[in-house]
């Protein structure tokens, strides 16, 4: 079931109508049933996999609590079990395809019938979420839960199940276990966020996707057309993914939950490290806490710089691999890891007066945005020769006037559709200083902006694409 569908609207209205009539325990059981219905709505067999993962981690948590002498073995059993599910469904077909290609290149007998394994939606998200529970129980940061139904709800909570944010057990389970309430302010802010999320998806993301898809489909391209397509895709993926996050946050808030932040205006980041503190925050913080820091302490005996840089390369390699089974995703991760390392080294030799001069920040943001677009190219295009062709295109090469005019027109369209994102960023940084959080004018402004966005949604293009991060 997808958010931007009539099915979800009817489903969610039914959930709200019943949910607030129940007590906490009944609410949890009802949400659990509705979450399983939501996840298995199109492909019921998905439920077998997520239920198996839930059962394994529930009993592993109890075993660690009751038999601490076996906790290391149980931890690895849980991790291996979860990663086996993930690797088989997400990476095994990729592995088999590459083995077949390698045998062919070596002139050895190969095979042509490779595996086409159907990827369960959201498997990367709920696998990492469930693993956080076991790791925290093992480390003593969290007590193992006895109530299976409450733990199962943590794993399968429908607003953020398919595309995040990745919730930590240590912050989300307490919300499941306590009484929940909702205020008029919560409803107001949630409804505004809901409309903003649908607007970003249906008006911004889907319209710039049309531009990006057309330009990436060109067999012969130029520098201007190619990078206009990359710019459009960068806007698309941000608007699309953050739209899902906003709808998830709003839906959760309307049933009394608060989800972790996942985006904080990443296009105004001035460095790669800052970019990843603003982009897909739940994944980058998860990787930092559960992978980078253990690696750093493991490598620290060989020096701080060695530990940091090796840890960064490994973690960003895993971030790329987490996104998908493809060499372009691996390159995407390594590229961003190298950017963080290069920026860190440059910071050492750059005078602090230049590095921290506020007048330099606009230029730093523009440079980082340009570098981020190279990453979006790696993210979008799976064909290596196409990526190389983009990267080797020269802006000085002979280009016809018609192509330049087409590129400028399409860039202007993409910029026009992305304008609300820039306005929202400006308001987030300056608006709260001008408009008090609790004021009639803020409520009036939200109502007027919501009405305008709702009208824009009604006249938006009818054919909407799936959320990009559904494939992960």
Q: Which two tokens stand for residue 341?
A: 């390392």
**What is the C-alpha to C-alpha distance for residues 256 and 258, in angstroms, rounded to an integer?**
7
- Per the rule left: phi > 0, alpha: psi between -120 and 50, beta: everything else, 280 is left
Q: Give the per-residue pLDDT at 458.
A: 83
**What is the C-alpha to C-alpha distance for residues 369 and 365, in angstroms, rounded to an integer?**
6
**What is the C-alpha to C-alpha distance for residues 278 and 275, in angstroms, rounded to an integer?**
5
Q: What tens digit of pLDDT does each residue of 127-140 get?
A: 999 999 999 999 98
**What is the C-alpha to C-alpha distance for residues 331 and 375, in angstroms, rounded to an integer?**
9
Query: How many CB atoms sit inside 10 A of residue 466's CB?
Result: 11
For residues 94 and 325, the answer to whether their CB atoms sit within 8 Å is yes
Q: What is the dihedral of CA 226, 230, 235, 236, to 10 degrees?
A: 90
**What is the C-alpha to C-alpha distance for residues 15 and 252, in angstroms, rounded to an integer?**
11
Please say if 323 is a catalytic residue: yes
Domain boundaries, the chain: 24-180, 183-259+400-472, 274-398
Q: Give the per-residue pLDDT at 252.
A: 94
Catalytic residue among 323, 390, 424, 429: 323
The tokens 């998908």 sit on which residue? 324
* Backbone φ, ψ for residue 264 (5° rounding): -145, 65
Q: Give the per-residue pLDDT at 29.
A: 95
Nearest to 420, CA basis, from 392, 388, 467, 452: 452
Q: Give the per-residue pLDDT at 174.
A: 93
Splitting the chain (472 residues) into consecutive groups of 10 residues, what average pLDDT does each group show? Answer: 82 93 92 92 84 93 92 92 86 70 68 62 86 92 92 93 87 92 88 91 91 87 88 93 92 93 92 93 92 89 88 92 86 94 83 76 91 92 84 73 85 92 83 62 78 83 69 65
- Residue 345, classed as helix, strand or coil, is helix
The angle at the Cα of 375, spanning 338 to 245, to the nearest 5 degrees, equals 115
For residues 163 and 169, the answer to whether their CB atoms sit within 8 Å is no
Nearest to 446, CA basis, from 70, 188, 254, 200: 188
Q: Give the per-residue pLDDT at 4.
A: 78
Q: Give the per-residue pLDDT at 467.
A: 75
Beta-carbon contacts of residue 458 (< 8 Å; ≥ 6 apart):
none
Q: Which two tokens stand for residue 143?
A: 């007590």
């Amino acid at each position: 079931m997808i958010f931007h569908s009539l099915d979800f609207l009817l489903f969610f209205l039914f959930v709200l109508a019943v949910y607030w009539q129940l007590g906490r325990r009944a609410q949890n059981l009802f949400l659990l049933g509705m979450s399983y219905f939501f996840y298995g709505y199109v492909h019921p067999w998905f439920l077998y996999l997520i239920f198996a993962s839930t059962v394994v981690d529930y009993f592993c948590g109890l075993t660690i609590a009751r038999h601490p002498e076996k906790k290391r073995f149980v931890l690895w059993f849980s991790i291996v079990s979860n990663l086996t599910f993930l690797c088989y469904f997400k990476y095994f077909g990729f592995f088999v395809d590459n083995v077949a290609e390698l045998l062919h290149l070596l002139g050895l007998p190969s095979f042509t019938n490779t595996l086409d394994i159907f990827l369960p939606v959201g498997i990367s998200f709920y696998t990492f979420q469930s693993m956080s529970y076991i790791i925290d129980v093992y480390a003593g940061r969290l007590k193992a839960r006895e109530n299976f139904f409450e733990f199962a709800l943590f794993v399968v909570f429908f607003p953020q199940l398919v595309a995040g944010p990745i919730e930590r057990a240590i912050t989300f389970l307490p919300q499941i276990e306590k009484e929940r309430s909702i205020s008029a302010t919560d409803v107001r802010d949630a409804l505004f966020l809901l409309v903003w999320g649908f607007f970003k998806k249906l008006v911004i993301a889907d319209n710039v996707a049309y531009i990006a898809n057309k330009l990436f489909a060109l067999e012969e391209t130029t520098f201007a057309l190619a990078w206009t397509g990359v710019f459009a895709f960068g806007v698309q993926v941000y608007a699309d993914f953050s739209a899902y996050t906003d709808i998830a946050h709003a839906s959760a808030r309307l049933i009394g939950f608060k989800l972790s932040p996942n985006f904080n205006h990443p296009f105004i980041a001035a460095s790669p490290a800052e970019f990843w503190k603003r982009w897909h925050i739940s994944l980058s913080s998860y990787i930092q806490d559960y992978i980078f820091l253990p690696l750093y302490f493991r490598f620290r005996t060989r020096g701080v710089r060695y530990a940091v840089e090796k840890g960064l390369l490994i973690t960003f390699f895993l971030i790329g691999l987490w996104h998908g089974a493809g060499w372009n995703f691996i390159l995407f991760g390594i590229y961003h890891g190298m950017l963080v390392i290069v920026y860190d080294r440059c910071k050492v030799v750059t005078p602090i007066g230049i590095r921290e001069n506020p007048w330099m920040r606009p230029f730093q943001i523009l440079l980082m945005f340009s570098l981020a677009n190279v990453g979006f190219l790696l993210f979008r295009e799976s064909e290596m020769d196409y990526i190389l062709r983009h990267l080797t295109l020269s802006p000085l090469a002979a280009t016809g006037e018609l192509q330049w005019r087409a590129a400028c027109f399409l860039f202007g369209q993409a910029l026009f559709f992305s304008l609300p994102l820039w306005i929202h960023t400006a308001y987030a940084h300056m608006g709260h200083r001008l408009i008090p959080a609790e004021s009639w004018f803020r409520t009036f402004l939200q109502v007027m902006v919501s009405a305008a966005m709702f009208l824009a949604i009604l006249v938006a293009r009818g054919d909407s694409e799936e959320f990009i991060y559904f494939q992960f």
